[in-house]
């Protein structure tokens, strides 16, 4: 299987799984209370930790614009796209899934709530995928440079 086809498969796999789970929470009342981890429906009108929620009506357009700018950048910097194709695929899948939530539900659908020892923000699969992509990029930036020097 060629790399581009694999990235398309990964993108749609993540995107559709995330959307299916969110749909189940919204329309089928999924939810489980646990001692450390709960799964409960919440709507996030802002971005991370509900920041910028005052922009809720405009965030979907701002985020789409940022993704478009990123795609234009990648078009002109194909070496970046080639080196970070997996991370970019993850970022786009998670980011576009959350943006679709804004158009579909008026906010991002969150459902994973960590509350063991401390309370953490409620998040979703797309958020975890985005964070994984950023961690991979940071790892490659730090340790990739060290390997090039050696």
pLDDT tens digit string along 105-133?
Answer: 999 999 999 888 777 788 999 999 999 99
Strands (E), the chain: 37-44, 108-114, 122-123
Q: Are 120 and 74 in contact (CB under 8 A)?
A: no
Clarify whether 101 is annotated catalytic. no
Confidence of residue 87 (pLDDT cuts 50, 70, 90): very high
- Report field, pTM of the whole predicted structure over 0.85: yes
Selected catalytic residue, list 22, 87, 112, 127: 127
* Angle formed at CA 132 by CA 123 and CA 79, multiple of 5 degrees: 135
Q: What is the DSSP letter of 46?
A: S
Selected catalytic residue, list 87, 98, 107, 110: 110
Segments forming the whole domain that contains residue 75: 3-25+38-143
Give domain status of residue 51, yes or no.
Answer: yes
Percent of the chain with pLDDT strictly greater than 90 = 71
Query: What pLDDT was estimated at residue 75?
Result: 95
Give domain status of residue 9, yes or no.
Answer: yes
Give domain status of residue 71, yes or no.
Answer: yes
Give domain status of residue 72, yes or no.
Answer: yes
Q: Are 124 and 18 in contact (CB under 8 A)?
A: yes
Give domain status of residue 31, yes or no.
Answer: no
The number of folded domains in the chain is: 1
Largest CA distance in the chain: 54
Tokens 């709507």 — which residue? 43
Give domain status of residue 97, yes or no.
Answer: yes
Q: Mean pLDDT across the chain, nearest whole number?
A: 91
Q: What is the 3-state secondary structure (H, E, C) of 93-111?
A: HHHHHHHHHHHHHCCEEEE
Q: How far apart (Å, rounded) are the C-alpha atoms in residues 63 and 60?
A: 5
Give domain status of residue 58, yes or no.
Answer: yes
């Amino acid at each position: 299987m060629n790399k581009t086809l694999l990235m398309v498969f990964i993108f749609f796999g993540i995107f559709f799984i995330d959307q299916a789970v969110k749909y189940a929470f919204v329309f089928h009342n999924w939810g489980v209370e646990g001692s450390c981890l709960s799964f409960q429906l919440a709507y996030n009108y802002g971005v991370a930790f509900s920041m910028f929620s005052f922009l809720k009506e405009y965030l979907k357009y701002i985020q789409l614009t940022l993704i478009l700018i990123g795609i234009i950048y990648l078009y002109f910097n194909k070496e970046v796209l080639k080196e970070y194709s997996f991370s970019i695929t993850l970022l786009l899948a998670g980011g576009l899934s959350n943006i679709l939530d804004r158009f579909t539900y008026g906010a991002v659908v969150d459902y994973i709530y960590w509350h063991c020892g401390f309370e953490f923000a409620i998040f979703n699969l797309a958020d975890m995928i985005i964070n994984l992509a950023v961690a991979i990029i940071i790892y490659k930036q730090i340790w990739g440079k060290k390997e090039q020097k050696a």
